[in-house]
């Protein structure tokens, strides 16, 4: 039997890059706090093949879409309207995350 583990993936799109530097430290503190408490598994930016920034990704270990959305709304990037977000459920079926 294949064991499954569901995570929720936050896809973050920056809409106000000029305000980003002033909020990065606060955002990183938010990530670190939730990572320590086990709600964030991984977080960071993604990049296109040419090296330019793309969406940010955060993997949440929470029980539901609602819990993921509540957690996401606490991110300073969203509170200060620097970014928008989408959330997707990710069912991991193989790899280290299933152990």
For residue range 18-45, what is the model confidence (pLDDT) as tens digits?
A: 999 999 999 999 999 999 999 999 999 9
List of residues 6+ apart from 30 with CB closer than 8 A = 74, 75, 76
Spell out where 15-82 has E strands.
Answer: 40-47, 53-60
What's the whole-number average pLDDT of the chain? 90
Structure tokens at 5: 């583990």
- Distance between CA atoms of residues 95 and 2, nearest Å: 11
The domain limits of the chain are 5-90
pTM surpassing 0.75? yes
Ranking 48-52, 66-70, 72-76, 91-95 by mean pLDDT, the lowest is 91-95
| Residue-level pLDDT at 1 | 47
Query: Average pLDDT for residues 76-86, to the nearest whole number?
Result: 95
Whether 60 and 68 have beta carbons less than 8 Å apart is answered as yes
Instruction: Give the per-residue pLDDT at 96.
Output: 64
Dihedral sign (CA 89, 45, 12, 49): negative
Q: Spell out the CATH class of 5-90.
A: alpha beta
């Amino acid at each position: 039997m294949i064991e499954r583990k569901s995570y929720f993936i936050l896809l973050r799109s920056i809409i106000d890059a000029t305000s980003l530097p002033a909020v990065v430290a606060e955002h990183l503190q938010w990530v670190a706090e939730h990572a320590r408490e086990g709600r964030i598994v991984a977080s960071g930016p993604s990049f296109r093949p040419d090296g330019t920034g793309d969406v940010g990704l955060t993997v949440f270990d929470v029980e539901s879409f609602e819990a993921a959305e509540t957690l996401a709304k606490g991110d300073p990037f969203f509170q200060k309207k620097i970014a928008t977000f989408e959330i997707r459920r990710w069912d991991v079926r193989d790899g280290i995350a299933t152990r």
